[in-house]
Amino acid sequence: MTQETPIQHQSIPAAIEGKDIIGIAQTGTGKTLAFGIPMIQRIAEHRARGLVVLPTRELALQVNDMLQKIGHPLGLRTAVLIGGESMPRQIDQLRQGPHIIIATPGRLIDHLGEKTVSLGNITILVLDEADRMFDMGFAPQIRIIFEALPEPGKRQTMLFSATMPDTIVSIATRHMTLPVRVEVAPAGTTIEATEQEIYIVKKESKISLLETLLREHAGTILIFSRTKHGASKLARHLRDIGERAVEIHSNKTMGQRREALEGFKKGKYRVLVATDIAARGINVVNIELVVNFDIPESSEDYVHRIGRTGRAGREGKAISLATPDQQGEIRAIERLIRKTLLVKRHESVSEELLALQKVMRPRPRGRTSRHQQSASWPTQRSFSPRSGGPRPFVRTNRAPRTNPHR
């Protein structure tokens, strides 16, 4: 990267001054350097001590790698406190006097309980992917961590997130001092370069549709499943049909998760099947396609899932597979991202069934996306941006649109 991203341009000067920051930006827009550069500069100039708290192990390791790239020549020492790793090794890192502690909430609480770490000298706190931490139920641990830190005014607090739920507002009110709000895109905004589609498909036809999508896209593909069992089952099936596929979820050991992610980055695996626990820890810039094999339970998770493609200014594509009865989930996603998504009917779903399930959605508030028709399937429907009913199906014999850059 040779040029600042908007979140970096707006955050770094205020952060270097020591101001509290609330940064709202789409995932994949360079938030790590937005807090990492000022944190390292203030540590060098003021002998500060930093703490970065993140929701997942993978994300913690990636943040550590990024901070080391810019801080290692300056003698930066870090300690990474995450589950699945040796406690004695982490204690050794803490004894070496790290300038920055990078931790997931659960393991940090373990160290606080064992009195192997003290947060009384922390002068810079970063909560990264804060909304995801609260989605994952870390609110009690975050409260304990705040109680172990110096009070507001005696520390700088930087909070970065892709969405802005009430819990984030509460933190800003109670634990920050006149925070500067940096919002380079409205909370919940998805990356414009990412093309988004939804297929209405019967549950029993999802696998065959997925296989078709894998044949149509030659690049790396990230697939999201709601459950760990579903991710493992899906990855096994893809390996059985000859795909280089691997799964990543919380039942895997840290070593297995690291091997899967590194193999995906380096091309050993073309397909990675993941649960939401890994959605924020996958930082791979060349993912061609994200497939939501299951619609996520929360609309915010949709934003973070599809944020894995179209990163660093590249184009990307996200395709979600929804069953005919998931009208509410689709509508909630559209309200959050303020777009009307292109919805296609798979051949497994009849027009009569579609009408019966009332997957005919009024326009969400806010902006709408451009609808582009394609002929990937025999028939398709692009729902009307006007409330009150759908357009007729558009039947076309045009060839599918191709992208010469893929």
Quickly count: other Cβ atoms within 10 Å of residue 389's Cβ. Answer: 9
What is the mean pLDDT of the segment spanning 176-183?
90
Bridge partners, 76 (sequence order): none
Q: Write down the pLDDT at residue 204.
A: 93
Q: Write down the pLDDT at residue 207.
A: 94
pLDDT, tens digit (0-9, with 9 covering 90-100), for 20-71? 999 987 666 788 999 999 999 999 998 899 999 998 888 899 899 999 999 9
Q: Write down the pLDDT at residue 25.
A: 79
What is the mean pLDDT of the segment spanning 214-219?
92
Q: Which residues lie below 8 Å from residue 285, measured CB to CB, with a gap of 6+?
A: 311, 312, 314
| Least confident range of 64-68, 185-189, 261-265 | 185-189
User: If 0-12 CB within 10 Å is exposed, 13-18 middle and 19+ buried, where does residue 224 land?
Assistant: buried
Better-predicted residue by pLDDT, 300 or 62 = 62
Are 304 and 261 a contacting pair, CB within 8 Å? no
Judged against a pLDDT cut of 50, whether residue 369 lies above it is answered with: no
Please report the domains of the chain, with CATH numbers, ordered by start residue. 6-183 (3.40.50.300), 194-357 (3.40.50.300)
Q: How confident is the model at residue 254 (pLDDT cuts 50, 70, 90)?
A: confident
Kindly give the residue spans of alpha helices, DSSP state H, lying in 188-326.
206-216, 228-240, 254-266, 299-306
Please give the model's pTM, rounded to 2 decimal places: 0.63
pLDDT, tens digit (0-9, with 9 covering 90-100), for 112-128? 999 999 999 999 999 99
Q: How confident is the model at residue 355 (pLDDT cuts 50, 70, 90)?
A: low
Judged against a pLDDT cut of 80, whether residue 189 lies above it is answered with: no
Q: Write down the pLDDT at residue 373.
A: 33
Judged against a pLDDT cut of 90, whether residue 157 lies above it is answered with: yes
